[in-house]
Chains A and B, each alone.
Chain A
Amino acid sequence: MGKEGRSWTLRLAGLLAPVTVWLGLFFLVPLLFILAYSFGTSGVYGGITLGFNPSNYLKVFDPLYLEIIIRTFVIALLNTFLCLLIGYPLAYFITFKGGRHKHTLILLVMIPFWTSLLLRAYAWVVILGGDNGIANRVLQFLHITDHPLTLIFTPQAVMMGMVYSYLPFMILPLYAALEKFDWRLKEAAQDLGASRWHTFWRVTFPLSMPGVIAGSILVFIPSAGEFVIPNLLGGARTMMVGNLIQQQFLSARDWAFGSALAVMLAVLLVGAIMFYVRRVGAEKLEEV
């Protein structure tokens, strides 16, 4: 051990130094700032006096804000569920039926990332908006409806926009998990008399669980912090925590409360994810 161990430690330290400095400076320090701010007192015109002022956290429990937090989590959960519902069959199809087009199909899933989410959200405003907008004209042309429908600035439009934006984050980890799936297990199950349905639920799905967990987390976290889509596609009629935090930092100039909200959101997210991984993840993984 002795000398060799030390040189190995040094090498490891050398390798980890860049990421430690980077994350420390640009992740940990800002996070600590927000934590410190959340106990401060906001100046009337922005800025903050540091101290220990827990009232920012008490304010989070005001029914007005609590309702927004609960709504945010409901929307994020629903979004995660819908992405899984739509994404799973697609990932399954690409993996098992994609054949030689598999890589092309996965590339197609990634194409939306080539443009900014903001631009794509504006594109949806153009498509869905207007009695004479593209979507309404197509629907009327196909005789699906005989009068223009209200397609935008509704909670449904927000939901659609969220599923649209986050679906790739679900499909990619699912694909990665299913890719590794050993076909022979499926054949073995069927040889032993399991029906297709049975094979899927008892063999394929449990084995893809790491992908389900990773996808769910990747979708859930950013959707809980979403604030662009509710404004652009929801007509700002529905507020999510992200909008509330933005408002506190800009127009309300209450940085302390905004920070407290951000800390609460982070704590709730960590809690929800630990609960999820423990309950769903670990058990399922152990079963396998």
Chain B
Amino acid sequence: MSHATLTCDPELLRRYDQPGPRYTSYPTAPQFGPHFQEDMLREYIHRSNEELIPRRLSLYVHVPYCSSPCFYCGCNRIITRDRTAGRRYVERLIREISLAGPLFDRDREVIQVHFGGGTPNFLRPEELRDVMRSLGQQFQLSNAPVRDFSIEIDPRFLNAADIAAYADMGLNRASLGVQDFDPAVQAAVNRVQSVQQTLAAIKACRRNGFRSINVDLIYGLPHQTSEGFGQTLDTVIGIRPHRLAVYGYAHMPHLFKPQRRIDASHLPNAEQRIALLCLAIEKLTGAGYVYIGMDHFALPEDDLTRAYDAGTLHRNFMGYTTHADCDLLGLGVSAISHIGDSFSQNPRVLPSWEAAVDSGHLPVWRGRHLDQDDQLRAEVIQQLMCRGWIDIAAVERRYDIDFHRYFADSLARLQPLVGDGLAVVERSRILATSRGRLLLRIIAMCFDRYLTAKPAAQAAQYSRAV
């Protein structure tokens, strides 16, 4: 199987280095509204049970706690050293699971479980086990080998026996944060983590039969240099995880308070950022990793690459996944659900989520229904993000539209990008070129109905494209 090439064109990347959504959903979360409440989520779940072949389920469990603040973080998390907070949180999670579980028909198999954070391994293995047990009681967890039960791990807070305990409770994938091994960078972002710690965690995962291991790196951090980051890349390539994510650091201190502790004068400039990204692409593709899309790379034999090759790759709030067409239920504070034609999100602040769960309610804060136009655009953007091209004929057939007429505005917005060689418009498809594949979200933005109105507001809300 040959894979599309990537071309790093620094001048072009710089020109298009503008803010934009990451399209883990369309419409994006800022479009969710408070009119969507618990009764509507219940109704969507009911309807999803009544489909001719109800979709399988994907469960996301959010653990908001971290023991120590990483200064680059833009996630929804709570810093504490109080381990009893974890126990109290788990008790409520189990309550939420027992409220939501019975709403789904019993023949709806759970093919994906993901613990994200925060730091899921802030919870003790026995606490995580209680959550898994509760999921097993309230849902039909799949026994198939392709099931995808994963956890995000901070290797700095991992005990020697933890991974074996995770494997024992059914987890088979892990994602480890690394960011950069350069000590100067680690000090500046308040995340000191040795190669040793990281390696020990990965070895434990392998020893315990995990199917897949992902490592997260970040470029654009303070004090980051091509030498230091290059070494990090070499080290990580030597470890050879199945998957790698290389995220661009988005410095938005007005939105994310912890980032205020990063001195902006120590950040690499736009040119250096792009050099770091190009270095990563060069080294990773040189080492045999396949570019999947957005920030993600995988080895050719990994499930993700196989799904990419087969055109069955899917993107949701957890990033890229091989399990297309699941209904997604988010559990825990701030978690997002995607049931049928709806998105909904739990309260982002802990006390609101706690209060809802304590009073026996599904904790819905906001959400939205996807109308026909949303569904159509979501599919177009999904195709772009997951395989780099839009199948015009398939979209026309499915939605009974004349693509060129329906998307006249989008195509007009796309025109300058075509002129710059980012995309090619053919009769039956629209294709991101090797230079455009690094700027998928810029291409996707042309098809986003909600972005055209107010570019100033976007700049404040979304991270930069590179």
Q: Do A and B bind each other?
A: no
Instruction: Give residues in A with beta carbon < 8 Å to B.
Output: none
B: residues with CB less than 8 A from A are none
